[in-house]
Structure 1
């Protein structure tokens, strides 16, 4: 018997006007379950588990590269964070790159993230509806403009290469800017033209989930020493 959904049905907790509280509970449970499963499986078994999907996704994007003949499409999304500075977040991110558990947990569709690979950071995640394995070309050196408190910018760029044959298939860039309320993160992804708009739109959504996770964790961890100091006064 197939289990489906009906647009006519509505389920909620008594007293609530909708099911958003249930959605939030499901999200917390899903994150916890994924963190447990990914942690218990480990790098090698996770890689083996999605190896067929990686081969399929890589073949698809290799075809996109050929069909697009060098033409790419770029999508950009800006994330705002309050009470977190770009300087603090940038420092936290550099340290977080050594914490595989933090990187993996930030997005449900982070399957592998190994920053210590000799060929560059090795990542397996979703582009569009396909799982793709790739190496990041290393973040280009940070460009920081500290002329004004609200103009300090941290810019980074990375070329993406398929992990089976090294084919370059796209790039990502991040720009962190100080703002009066905290910071802005301008995130962009460039992919072969024939993969747009689906892969572009999906990866911008992917960015929003992972960077919100990282920003919230960074804010909590960078604020912790101050909080402890305040409590001791």
Structure 2
């Protein structure tokens, strides 16, 4: 059985502890719970989460569950409505950032190492989340996930706060399109999950290359997200923590299938 304490994360050149990642997740959980309370008002949040006042002071696992309760209680249409202005603002900023970047890109990269998991089996498990549209597992991995779902054509729809962005954004990821991805593939990592992120009209805004290998019984994962170069350095750094949070939780959740 995985001991989460043994899960090592490296952000930039610094190795961070599991507790530091959990502390980051806890702060984001507080922020997102506060956003729901503000947007829904007393009647709305009482309807979906009657004990929300106590939940705000509860341990992190309880707050994770509460956030999923709110997200599923609202449903997709409710989430679009709650975040309508944020998504519109974020799309305008993203389009401006792509134009300003003139094709140049930046990368946010985080490395995770966890004993006892198989890279091949984790890759299969992760791919399957989109195939079977396991929204619960996809959303629960990070407080800033508002809506992650697999679409019928194999693409993924994402509504999330990306790193330190001021607003939630919405985009699509196509794991069959890789031509715009500039993140180098490392031949030492045989398991590659690569996809292009774009808006509804096809404007490419970034993408991902997540790479996995097994090293002496340890799953070694390098997760990298490609952004337009105009994205501020603070946002890039915060998205490294976002990656550490979501993939740590996905790695732990995958254990029943991905154990070596």
* TM-score range relative to shorter protein: 0.7 to 0.9
**Contact 1:77 1:204 (8 Å CA) reproduced:** yes
From 250, 254, 258, the equivalent of 1:214 is: 250
From 100, 121, 127, the equivalent of 1:67 is: 100
1:16 aligns with none
Displacement after TM superposition at 1:39 (Å)? 1.8
Distance change >3 Å, CA 40–CA 94, structure 1 → 2: same
From 215, 219, 223, the equivalent of 1:187 is: 223
Stretches of 4+ moved more than 6 A in 1? none
Alignment of 1:11-160 (within 5 A): 26-97=59-130, 98=132, 99-118=134-153, 120-127=155-162, 128-129=164-165, 130-139=167-176, 153-160=190-197
Partner Cα separation in structure 1 for residue 194 and residue 122 of structure 2:
17
2:16 aligns with none
TM-score (norm 1): 0.75
TM-score (norm 2): 0.68
Give secondary structure in 2 for the equivalent of 1:188. Answer: strand
Determine which structure has more spread, i.e. the larger CA radius of gyration: 1
From 210, 229, 241, the equivalent of 1:205 is: 241
Partner Cα separation in structure 1 for residue 189 and residue 234 of structure 2:
33
Distance change >3 Å, CA 81–CA 189, structure 1 → 2: same
Partner Cα separation in structure 2 for residue 74 and residue 65 of structure 1:
14
Aligned residue-pair number: 196
Q: Considering only aligned residues, what root-mean-square deviation do their CA atoms show, in Å?
A: 2.6
**Contact 1:144 1:154 (8 Å CA) reproduced:** no
